[in-house]
Chain A
Amino acid sequence: DVKVTQSSRYLVKRTGEKVFLECVQDMDHENMFWYRQDPGLGLRLIYFSYDVKMKEKGDIPEGYSVSREKKERFSLILESASTNQTSMYLCASSPQPSISFIQYFGAGTRLSVL
């Protein structure tokens, strides 16, 4: 089975802190994604990556950055956390050939920014 692991299920941070959310997949997938999930808004794409060191902005990249130094790991970075970034964050991965292929999700990280 594909496994996508997010380092934390729950995280509480202070406004202004730099926050790292980590995601690791064990199936050698080329594509990785970070989403934000809010009630009534569904899933919104923050960033995605289709190869090591490659990244593309999604629909809501403002206030976030990402890093993909190794194929299996995709990190989401909140440079200076704000209260409006309190949310559930989901990581996903998918194999080639297409980034519209089936995605496999992690369990999510619920981030609270106080």
Chain B
Amino acid sequence: AQTVTQSQPEMSVQEAETVTLSCTYDTSESDYYLFWYKQPPSRQMILVIRQEAYKQQNATENRFSVNFQKAAKSFSLKISDSQLGDAAMYFCAYSPGNTPLVFGKGTRLSVIA
């Protein structure tokens, strides 16, 4: 069974600094999708960024970027210029294509002013 591992239950970052959240996954598939979702306190979960495994170029969305290492099965999220509004639970998720997403257990990110 596919698994997604987020090894950092909690992390903190100073405002305006950069932080990297780790995610590894286990799969025998060659083509699949990876996601990072953000769940702010008491608010809806939203998509942060999405990566297709067949694309070598790392996805970027404004201050959010990923480091996708397919051979290592690693998919880390980098948040640059951290803001107070970035404080949230972050979930890494994986899907091979036509099955539901498998989520990691999440990383709680605190942003210190």
Contact = CB atoms under 8 A, between A and B. Distances in A.
Given A99-B100, A100-B100, A102-B50, A41 B105 contact: yes
B91 A43 contact: yes
A99 B96 CA distance: 10
A48 B95 CA distance: 15
A99 B99 contact: yes
Interface in A7-41: 33, 35, 40-41
Nearest to B35: A102
B interface, size bucket: 20 to 34
Interface string A71-114: 00000000000000000001010000011101101111000000
A106 to B, nearest CB: 7
B100 A58 contact: yes
Contacts, number: 48
Interface residues of A, number: 22
A42 B33 contact: no
B13 to A, nearest CB: 21
A33 B101 CA distance: 10
B56 interface: no
A78 B91 CA distance: 26
B46 interface: yes
B105 A98 contact: no
Interface in B57-102: 91, 95-101
A4 B9 CA distance: 28
Interface string A47-79: 010000000001000000000000000000000
10 contacts: A33-B100, A42-B91, A43-B91, A99-B98, A100-B33, A100-B96, A100-B99, A100-B100, A105-B45, A107-B43
Nearest 3 pairs between A and B by C-beta? Answer: A100-B95, A42-B105, A105-B45
